[in-house]
Every structure is written in structure tokens, then in C-alpha cells.
Structure 1
């Protein structure tokens, strides 16, 4: 229990305390409820953002914090502290945050909400190795605990390169900012990439866990905050309709696609040496695979959900030989819609001799009773036909069709497609008779669209994930074991590619290199064209 400041008292309506007024404590009326339909409201606390001047903070994090405040999901006493090298005053940092919010917020800008949020906005100048700056940061947070009623509850958002993690973690530990007391908490939120291979991931986890216990570490994978990703669990486990078919008896194969229609642009220098597999497959796509393939958890608690995902990742491995079950490529010049765009090697800042791939595909298998014999095809790439992320379960053909062959020439395999972005929804493909006197069966689609069924606008992924971190709700955050298992799956593929020279080229605006099509053709299958 803790005493709150008069400021926090004035801002909140829900307080309890002794009749003589000796102690008053903020009581969140929704925090302990079991009714999950009610909105979850964060209790007293604040956030420090390292790397606050970067693109991620400017475009995503700062607008998400405002949107949470605008929706009434942050306490009025919430404090936001930026840390960076710029010599900014409080007012200059406020102006920077406001500009970011006005250009990037999902919800309407309201002056009253902004004024309340701005009172808790502060900036501390310093580098990641500056002892005095971190001492000033500690003094600022202590001051805010008294003036704002943040109750010594702080989340540290590391929107910085992984090679800076050791310095920041060391300084937080040295300055006494990482240690939580009995009545407060300290948490760290980490952006990907979580290492570049298994060895580096283990070392990164060791560094972070030497300062913060694993229960206080929140690794952000923004794809897991998307509504349609969370809807995978709702569809699977709230409906009897799908579960009997969700196994190797009926599913022929699974395709998981994340395609982008943009190139590297100004990120060529950053991207070189990372590549599509490390950037997307290791985190986003393997997490989607785990959600699709996992068994039903005992309960929807973070521990149970993470345990089931870990079982899947432990049972997952690449299909061999890798020469036939993987593909990679680099985009060349070509037409992206009506625009002719340059190839990767013409991008400014990219090494023409680099073997870094912009397209990656691999075939994985899950050694379990449910999924034995079902290949999971994962692919991601830049400068592809369109921007889309989807999960497609393609079902086996019926063992017997009582129709003449000519009646079903336009009939393919049944499929269930979960569209993650941009047109969030679920599509079911099945056969239906064509109207007329003849018997002709053709594929038709039954399409569920989020935007058409629900009037509520889905929150941005970062809104959901930041709120979850403040609420200590870890269901959507990968654990260190999940991260390490993902690298264990992907490392053999990356090591194999490292010995193969330059990737195959594919024209911009197409769906990848020919070797990716051949990868499925060998199995008598073909990629979907979204």
C-alpha cells in the first residue's frame, strides 16, 4: 500500500482510506475484476523511453501513449520521461511529443487530454555511459514519485540498438533504478532484434536477466498485438467448428506469408547483414506458427500460453535437405504497380557484393501427433506483389468425389485464410454448385471482415502491448526460451545460406525468386497469390 500525492488524489475518483483521512489509497475498480470484457486501466506509474528521438518512438510509441490516455486507460498521474543526448528543456520535449502525437495518433486530438498528459512529460539529457546523467534520471523519477504519485512504478522502454543494452542495463542497476520494492515494480521493455543468432541471443538474455528478473522483461513483437493475431486463439478455442479439422488428418499444409511492397529505402545500411529471415521469420512468423499449431492451454494466463508455444517450438525443425526446402533472393529493378523502381544493388548505402537476402522462405515440420506430416511453409520478402500478412490452412482434397471430372475442373482445395493485415479478417474457400441446369462445382469464398462486422476501431498493436506491460500482462510477449528456440530453428538455414554465395534475383513487383516456387512444386503444391 502506498500514499498518493494530492495531485493524484485530485485526478482520480476512486480512493479508499481511514475515516480520519490519515491514508488514502487509489483503488482501481477494474484492476482485480474477473470480467475480461471490461477495460483494463493501468494503475499509478510511468515510463522512461530510451531512444525517444528515433523513428519508432516518434511514429509509434508516443502516439500510442497519447491514444491510451485519450481512451482513459492511463492514470491521470501518468509520467513520461524521455532520455537522450539532445539538450532539450521540458517545453522543447513537450513540443516534440505533441508534434509526434498530432501526426501519428489514431484517436482525435483533444486539448484537455494533452494538457493533462503534458504535465507529466519530462526530459533528461545524457548518453548511455554517463553516470551523472543516470543519477539525474534517478533524482527525476524520485521527484515524480512524490509530485505525480507514480508510486515508484517504472517501465523502461529500450528503443535502442541491442549493442547498447549492456550499458543501459548496467546504468539502471548502478543508479538503483532496476530494483523493485515490495510495493512497487520495475520492468524493462525490449524491442527486437533479440540477437542475430542463438549465441548472441543467449548472451543478450544473460545481460538483461542479470539486472531484471525474467518476469519483469517484456520483449516486444508488435505482430502479437494485432487483433487478428489474437483472434487466432478466439477462433480455435471458442468454437467447436474448427478444432476437429485442425490436425494432420485434414490439413494438407500451412502457408504463413508476410509480404511487403516497399524496398529498403533509407534503411539499406541497417538492413545489410540482417536480412529477411532474421528480421521477420525468427520472430513474427515463428510466433504466428506457434499460435496456429499450439495445443489448447489449461487457462489463458501468460504462463500457460507461453508453455504451449514453447512445446511447439521445441518440436519444430527445418525440413531437409535445405537445398530443396529453402529459398532466398534479392529484388532487382522492376515495376511496382505503375512505378519503375530500382533494384537492391542500386539502393544507396547497400554493398553490391552483399549476400543479405530480401526474400526468405523455408519449410518447417512439427514433430507432434497433431501435425506429423504437415509442412509449414514460411515466406517473407520486400518488393513483392502487394503488402499482405496472412496464414492459410489448406485442407486435403476429399478422398472421393462422386462427380464426373469435368464437373470439378474449377474446384481447388478448401482453405481457411486468416488475414492479419491490411484487410483484417478470415476467408473460407470451399466448393459450391454454379447456378444452372448443369452440375458444375466451383470455388467460392465466405469472407469475414473486421471493419464490416465491428464498428469499433481496432487499437494499434503498440497501444495493446504498452498497456499490457504496465498491467504486468505477459501473454503476448515472447520469453527468453521462446527467443532462443526460434534461433535454434533458424540458425541451420542461415548457416547453410552463408555458404551459398549471392542470393537469386527476382524482379520487383513479382512474388519472389523461381526457387521459391520450385520449393513447393517439388511437393506438388503452389504458393497462394493473395
Structure 2
């Protein structure tokens, strides 16, 4: 297939201008020819996130004309009917605005294969479809398989990919697999899942999506720390009193019982999102931002992370009851559709961790997440120790708190620095003030959706933002003891919807003279 004059095809499958340094990270890297096969294409994730992200990448010029999208599902659709489904999802959820001309180019590469996961003939048809795309659209044997399906469907799909030879290539192309969380239910199941996937695809071809790592503000943690002399000298136990990492949601779980019941907040959020944020905050400076060096530093942090004991005093869990969300009355979890009236699934989880390294010795890391909390917010707060001496009397600083650096992941992405300042007056009165950096105000372009960045990285073969096998298993090693202790306790504590969680979470902090932030 002919390619644009002046371009070249390097070994990593990306297309770049040969007059520019291919290692220049400031340049937008464009994916090379490839086909993305989505299993579970009829699901909510595919419609709301994956398919719109594919269109937005194409609309930004980051996908080549030879890109192809293949859907696999048990539906009586042909290619045109599936294209209509994709278009509907794109028009409803795309970020960059719908353009008919761009859609028509993308639609040329859309195909659909009808079948179930245990249908041998359907997988043979899928193989033939990919071979036709290779020949007619020039996808060059580069195929990514997106398993947007429950983990219990993995063995069947992976065995069919092996059986038909689609998981391997004997030519110059590549094969990759994309996996959505949850990455197991505990350490034992995670190890079994990793063995299963690893028996079909090598580790450098496995991409486990944690969409939080695709957020611009999460990636900005690295820039904030290592591009600025201002922060790094203070980023240690000499100055930081504790770290709070919060992911709070104000929504309930109505309609999500089939996924959430029996999983709970700790497995759903702490094991992946929050422990990954902890690793980025606590890691040492990597030799480079290559995938190998980044993952090595995160692994060191996770291997050094321990639960603070006793667990009964340093963890908390809860389940939301009825209450008010804003001005609206809402029901408790046990009255939500699909949940058993005896469900013990937690909707709030908090744990206290310590990182046993010289940098962080003695600094507790408090992680919490919950549904039906006071507001939707995800933030990382580094709370500094108080000044060793304050030359003010008590009347001058009644409102003065601890300095804090707060990284806002969502919404209102940005960074806030809280410090004390004199109130304008003839008296000496000091009060907390905040200095804000906002992405929306500082930059004229909107941040890409996480799935845009992550799907592009899959096609580029860039695994920096994807947890590896060891990271996943270390995370379960941290969380498993907490889950086992909670199983011994029975039902979780009830908290009122619209509040900030159960009383046990407040006690967890007040025992050490600290308090949760109210974002």
C-alpha cells in the first residue's frame, strides 16, 4: 500500500516525519496501520468510551487511513448496521465534534462479525475478515483484541484466538490484547488470570487498562515532581505529615448490581486506581520515562507498601443508606434495583498505608473511595507538617491550618497550593488562602479523554500507562489482608447518603489527631 511521501515506518509501528527526531516526546505520534477488534462491542463501555475515543483519535489525525475497527457480538448485524451503531455512539459521546467527512473515512474500515464466544465458525470468520483487511486496507497484520467482557469470558475467547492462530504472527505484524479491570478478585484469581493471558500473549503484548492513568492530571504528577525544583526537595517525610488520596462519587449504584454486588469499593477502586496514584506520588525519579523504567519505580513503591496495623483501627468500610443528594431524597443500597436486602457489599472503603522507604518513613497514606458521598471529586492532597515555631499568638492564627498541595484529578482539573497569608488590615491576622492552577484556564485545548490516550498507546505499543503483571499482583497483596479482615466483621457500617462516609472513617483519622479533607 502506498504511503505519504516523506514518511517512514519505524520498527515500533508508528508513522513519523524522518526530518524530525523520532524520540522527541513533544511530537504527536501517529499510530501505524492496524485493526482493533472489540469483544463486548454492544456493552455500555464500548458505546460511551471506546468507540467515541476511536473517532476522536481519527478526528485529531492520530489514526492512519488504513485503520480498521471490527466488532464481534451475538447480533444479527451486517457491516452497515454495525456502522450505524458506532455512528450513534460517536455522535452522542465524541469530544472533538462530529464531522461527516471524517466519519465517512473512518466508516470505510468498519466491519462486523456475528457470533458467540464459543462459536468456532465465527472465529474462523473473524480471522478471514482480518486477513481481508490486511490485504485490502493495508492493516499489515497488526491486530489488537479488546476484551471488553467479564473475566469469566476470557478463557473461551483466548482459547479461540489461539486455536485459529490469531494470537500470534509469523510475519512482521504484531498482536496485542487489551484487558479491562477488574484484574482478578483477589491475589489468587489475579495470578490465575495473569497465567491464562500470559500463556497466549507475551507480557509486552498485554495492555491492562486503568483509565485513571490516562487522565492528563495523573500524568501531570510526573511533570509537577520532576520538572520543577520547587517541589521535589519537600517531597519527603521531613516536610510532609501525611497524604490523602480520595475518589468520591455522588452517584448511587442503581442498575449496576450485576457488576458491583460482591465486588465493592475496595476491589473496584483502591486495588487499581488509588494504589496506582499512590505509586506515582511516592516513586523515586525514574532513569527515563521509558515503560521499563517507570514500571520499575512503581513496583519498588508497591513492594514497600504495608497496611498500618491494627487493621480494625486503620481501615473503614461502609454502605450508604437513604439520605439526601443535594435537594433530592435517595434510597440506600439495599433498596437499589438488583441488590439483595442482605447484601454486605461495601460502597465506602478507606485504608491506611505506609511506604517503608527512607523518603516516606513515618508518613501515613490515607486512601478512601465511596459512592453517594458529598460531591464528585478525585484528588491527591499532600499535607505538610506545621511550622516548628509560629511567632504569633493564638488570636492571630485561629483559622490557620496546615499547608497543602492538592492535585485535582477531577473535576476542575488542576493544582491548588494552600498556605497562610496576612489578612489586609492594621492588625496581624493570618488566614489560609489558596493559589490555583486550572487546566481549563491555563491551556486553550481541552484535555483528551483517557481512552484516547490509552487506545493510541495500545496501537503504538507504548505500555508506560498500563499496569504490569507484578504491579497487579503486588496491589492485591496489599489489599487482600484488609478484605479478609472485613469478611470476619460481618455487615459494613451504614452511612447517610450525601455525607462523607461512616463514623469509623472519621475515627480512623482522629485517633492520630488528623482529619479528612472536605473537598
2:123 pairs with one of 109, 134, 139: 134
Are 1:521 and 2:510 counterparts? yes
Q: What CA RMSD, in Å, does the superposition of the two structures yield over aligned residues?
A: 1.4
Distance in 2 between residues matched to 1:175 and 1:15, nearest whole Å: 34
2:167 pairs with one of 166, 169, 178: 178
What's 1:113 paired with?
102
Are 1:66 and 2:73 counterparts? no
Shift, 1:489, TM fit: 0.1
Distance in 2 between residues matched to 1:407 and 1:265, nearest whole Å: 49
Change (3 A) 1:437 1:487: same
Shift, 1:180, TM fit: 2.6
What's 1:20 paired with?
none
What's 2:419 paired with?
430
Shift, 1:406, TM fit: 1.6
What's 1:458 paired with?
447
Distance in 2 between residues matched to 1:431 and 1:61, nearest whole Å: 44
Are 1:341 and 2:330 counterparts? yes
Given that residues 249 and 372 in structure 2 are in contact (C-alpha distance below 8 angstroms), is that contact kept between their aligned partners in structure 1?
yes
Shift, 1:26, TM fit: 9.9
Q: TM-score, normalised by structure 2?
A: 0.98
Given that residues 48 and 83 in structure 1 are in contact (C-alpha distance below 8 angstroms), is that contact kept between their aligned partners in structure 2?
yes
Distance in 1 between residues matched to 2:252 and 2:185, nearest whole Å: 21
Given that residues 38 and 72 in structure 2 are in contact (C-alpha distance below 8 angstroms), is that contact kept between their aligned partners in structure 1?
yes
Distance in 2 between residues matched to 1:295 and 1:48, nearest whole Å: 37
Change (3 A) 1:223 1:189: same
Shift, 1:37, TM fit: 1.2
Distance in 2 between residues matched to 1:303 and 1:27, nearest whole Å: 22
Are 1:316 and 2:286 counterparts? no
- Write the mapping of 1:260-339 to structure 2, written as runs, cut at 5 A: 260-339=249-328
Shift, 1:181, TM fit: 3.2
Distance in 2 between residues matched to 1:16 and 1:370, nearest whole Å: 45
Given that residues 15 and 31 in structure 2 are in contact (C-alpha distance below 8 angstroms), is that contact kept between their aligned partners in structure 1?
no
5+ residue gaps, structure 2: none
Shift, 1:34, TM fit: 2.0
Given that residues 233 and 291 in structure 1 are in contact (C-alpha distance below 8 angstroms), is that contact kept between their aligned partners in structure 2?
yes
What's 2:489 paired with?
500
- Write the mapping of 1:381-400 to structure 2, written as runs, cut at 5 A: 381-400=370-389
Q: 2:208 aligns to what SS in structure 1?
A: strand
Distance in 1 between residues matched to 2:466 and 2:295, nearest whole Å: 9
What's 1:365 paired with?
354
Distance in 2 between residues matched to 1:492 and 1:430, nearest whole Å: 38
Shift, 1:270, TM fit: 2.0
Shift, 1:353, TM fit: 1.2
Q: 1:427 aligns to what SS in structure 2?
A: strand
For 1:244-263, what per-residue CA distance to the aligned partner results, in whole angstroms no more than 9, with x for missing partners? 10000000000000000000
Q: 1:187 aligns to what SS in structure 2?
A: strand
Runs (4+) off by over 3 Å: 11-17, 25-28
**Mean Cα displacement is larger for which, 267-276 or 368-377?**
267-276
For 1:254-298, what per-residue CA distance to the aligned partner results, in whole angstroms no more than 9, with x for missing partners? 000000000001002321100000000000000000000000000
Distance in 2 between residues matched to 1:217 and 1:500, nearest whole Å: 37
Shift, 1:184, TM fit: 1.1
Distance in 1 between residues matched to 2:373 and 2:477, nearest whole Å: 28
Given that residues 244 and 380 in structure 2 are in contact (C-alpha distance below 8 angstroms), is that contact kept between their aligned partners in structure 1?
yes
- Write the mapping of 1:400-415 to structure 2, written as runs, cut at 5 A: 400-415=389-404
Q: 2:243 aligns to what SS in structure 1?
A: strand
